[in-house]
Amino acid sequence: MQNQNKTKSLFAANLIRMRKEAGLSQKSLAELAGLTHNFINDIENMKKCASVETIDRLSTTLRVEPIQFFIDPGHWNNKDEHFWAILDHLNENINRVFDNFRKNTME
């Protein structure tokens, strides 16, 4: 349960940060992503979790990689090559999951 709360907290914090960096309100992000304002608010306040479909919509709308929702922003300045190799591998796998999701929802 503690890991789930940590993940929800990290996801919410990154969503808020990326939304603000994009200059979007919760309402405008919701409209662009085809979601409701209440749902964005609930995710940001950790009342609800985002599904794969929602993460796909949010990452597409914010023009970020899905993995960016799950990485502590402090790590983006990490100089360790091993860290970046692991992150690249994870990103490839996550993108494969999202590609399969998109393919299956189109059929």
Chain center to CA of 62: 9
Token readout for 5 is 């709360």
| pTM for the predicted model, two decimal places | 0.75
Express each pLDDT in 1-15 by its tens digit: 566 688 899 999 999
pLDDT band at 46 (very low <50, low <70, confident <90, very high): very high
Does 62 have pLDDT greater than 90? Answer: yes
Q: What is the CATH number of the domain that holds 97?
A: 1.10.260.40
CB atoms within 10 A of CB 69: 21
pLDDT band at 76 (very low <50, low <70, confident <90, very high): low
Q: Which domain holds residue 39?
A: 2-106
What DSSP element (H or E) covers 94? helix 81-106
Domain count for the chain, please give it: 1
Structure confidence at residue 34 (pLDDT): 97
